[in-house]
């Protein structure tokens, strides 16, 4: 039986016009009546106008979320919440192609990637649907005198704020919405100003599935306005944030007002280590796409590529050929491997680092140019490889957030582990080897929240990932993530007589 062809993406009708805020189950304008443009990064053209939410709008959303939390939503049973999540999944899959096309148009990722994002979201929703019983009540033995029974409750925290990044907003929102719906919390979502449209489209799907008014609220706007107001709001019990370490510090400071719980996924400069005994047929494309995927706009990208010296020359040659074979173009075009960067600002940042790499003595082995011609209006850059990089160079120290690989030679396990951990970040890492002992030694030796062996970038929502050092704290995925939306309560009950 032949496999049916995937339909070519079309421009969704949802694009264009002005988009409002979603508060209390209704679409409303920003209190100040202001809007701002959102741009297709593949063309540089405006594709919609977004409401410019600010502190007053965040307050409206938090009030709506609190009312929903304390209202009928608090009486929904775990089974009812599970059925709700499964209805959302069913509806989302019916709109899969539309959602993928919106995400591609809004933030640039190739349509093949955003279609896979929809499949990953379905997996995540089903995982969170399996966790609706996490708010448990258990008994425990105790050593108190008399006839005292103890109960341990896990109860929903309340209102959770989710500040979502632009590099994958459609999937990123589910690290907040999923556990909130599973546990009985409510949430206020602040999408990134550069990519909000897929999250706004999802609001209608949530409403159609039967999510009660006020359980999920969406406030678009700038991080310095709406995001800062959400982080500081005294009515918010927890903030989940993905973004830069600098902004993460500000959120920590803002959270002190009411001692919010925090989950922070911040910057990264992750090491990916290739040993001479690795299967290079797998390691070359695997390590390359560990950086080039999403045009390098992933926090845990393995941009510091350590290659054992005896195979470094061959590896770089293979990396050159692989990079040259990648198709860069508009995400809706068939066969595209890399789309544009998110904005002209991000393009300027990446090109600045490319220039620095050459000035500081790294050898440009592939790419390094902004693309022109029919792509000149967008924010496209070639997949770029620097060879002969020294650990002290700027491109090896700072997060670039673009498709730029720094190849760094090493000789021994001890040497490479020392270099791998010589960074303020600790988000991800990788190792390529056929030797089981080396795989264990290196995966245990890398100080990071997640390490991949003979692969890179896979994330299971039932397992999850997190960071350490300046890459943040708090776990995403798994039961630990769900339980971070709960607080613990002990009850001591005198049952004598």
Catalytic residue list: 265, 299
Question: What does DSSP say about strands 404-410 and 304-308: parallel, antiparallel, or unpaired?
Answer: parallel
Give whole-number Cα distances, 488 to 140, 155, 256, in Å: 14, 6, 21
- Closest to 196 measured CA to CA, from 36, 346, 11, 29: 36
> Is the CB of residue 425 less than 8 Å from the CB of residue 381?
no
Question: For residues 312-325, b (16+ Cβ closer than 10 Å) or e, as one string?
Answer: beebbebbbebbee
Coil/strand/helix, residue 220: coil
- H or E stretch including 307? strand 304-308
> Residue 453 CA to chain centroid, in angstroms?
21
Neighbours of 275 (CB within 10 A): 22
CA dihedral over 302, 109, 192, 68, signed as positive or negative: negative
Coil/strand/helix, residue 448: coil
Coil/strand/helix, residue 399: coil
As to burial, measured by CB atoms within 10 angstroms (0-12 exposed, 13-18 middle, 19+ buried), residue 93 is middle
Q: Which residue has the tokens 């933030």?
A: 107
Q: How many C-alpha atoms does 398 have within 13 Å on its Cβ side? A: 12
**Number of residues written out for the chain:** 497
As a whole number of angstroms, the distance between CA 446 and CA 211 comes to 42
Residues whose CB is less than 8 angstroms from the CB of residue 289 and which lie 6 or more positions away in sequence, other chains included? 456, 457
- At 27, phi and psi to the nearest 5? -85, 125
As a whole number of angstroms, the distance between CA 23 and CA 60 comes to 7
As a whole number of angstroms, the distance between CA 237 and CA 251 comes to 13
């Amino acid at each position: 039986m032949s496999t049916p062809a995937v339909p070519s993406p079309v421009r969704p009708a949802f694009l264009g016009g002005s988009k409002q805020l979603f508060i209390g189950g209704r679409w409303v304008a920003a209190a100040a009546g202001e809007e701002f443009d959102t741009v297709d990064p593949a063309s540089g053209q405006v594709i919609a106008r977004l409401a410019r939410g600010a502190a007053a709008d965040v307050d409206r959303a938090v009030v709506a979320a609190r009312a929903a939390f304390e209202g009928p939503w608090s009486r929904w049973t775990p089974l009812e919440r599970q059925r709700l999540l499964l209805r959302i999944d069913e509806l989302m899959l019916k709109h899969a192609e539309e959602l993928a096309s919106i995400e591609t148009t809004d933030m640039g990722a190739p349509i093949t990637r955003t279609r896979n994002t929809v499949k990953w979201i379905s997996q995540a929703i089903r995982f969170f649907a399996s966790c609706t019983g996490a708010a448990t009540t258990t008994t425990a033995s105790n050593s108190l005198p008399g006839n005292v029974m103890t109960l341990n409750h896990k109860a929903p925290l309340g209102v959770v704020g989710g500040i979502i990044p632009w590099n994958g907003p459609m999937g990123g929102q589910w690290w907040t919405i999923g556990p909130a719906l599973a546990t009985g919390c409510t949430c206020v979502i602040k999408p990134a100003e550069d990519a909000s449209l897929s999250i706004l489209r999802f609001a209608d799907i949530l409403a159609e599935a039967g999510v009660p008014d006020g359980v999920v609220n969406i406030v678009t706007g700038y991080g310095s306005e709406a995001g800062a107001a959400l982080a500081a709001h005294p009515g918010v019990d927890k903030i989940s944030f993905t973004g830069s370490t600098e902004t993460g510090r500000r959120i920590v400071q803002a959270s002190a007002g009411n001692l919010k719980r925090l989950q922070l996924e911040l910057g990264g400069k992750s090491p990916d280590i290739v040993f001479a005994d690795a299967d290079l047929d797998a390691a070359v494309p695997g390590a390359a796409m560990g950086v080039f995927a999403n045009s390098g706009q992933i926090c845990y990208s393995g941009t510091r590529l350590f290659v054992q010296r005896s195979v470094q020359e061959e590896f770089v040659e293979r990396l050159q050929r692989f990079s040259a074979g990648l198709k860069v173009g508009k995400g809706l075009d068939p066969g595209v491997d890399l789309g544009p960067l998110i904005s002209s600002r991000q393009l300027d940042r990446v090109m600045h680092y490319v220039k620095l790499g050459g000035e500081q003595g790294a050898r440009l082995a592939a790419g390094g140019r902004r693309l022109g011609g029919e792509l000149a209006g967008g924010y496209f850059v070639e997949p770029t490889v620097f060879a002969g990089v020294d650990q002290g160079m700027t491109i090896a120290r700072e997060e670039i957030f673009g498709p730029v690989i720094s190849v760094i030679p090493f000789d021994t396990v001890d040497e490479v582990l020392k270099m791998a951990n010589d960074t303020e970040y600790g988000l991800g890492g990788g190792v390529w080897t056929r030797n089981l002992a080396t795989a264990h030694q290196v995966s245990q030796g890398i100080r990071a929240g997640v390490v991949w062996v003979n692969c890179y970038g896979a994330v299971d929502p039932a397992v999850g990932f997190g960071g350490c050092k300046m890459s943040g704290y708090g776990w995403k995925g798994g039961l630990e993530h769900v339980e971070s939306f709960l607080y613990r309560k002990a009850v001591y009950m005198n049952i004598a007589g």
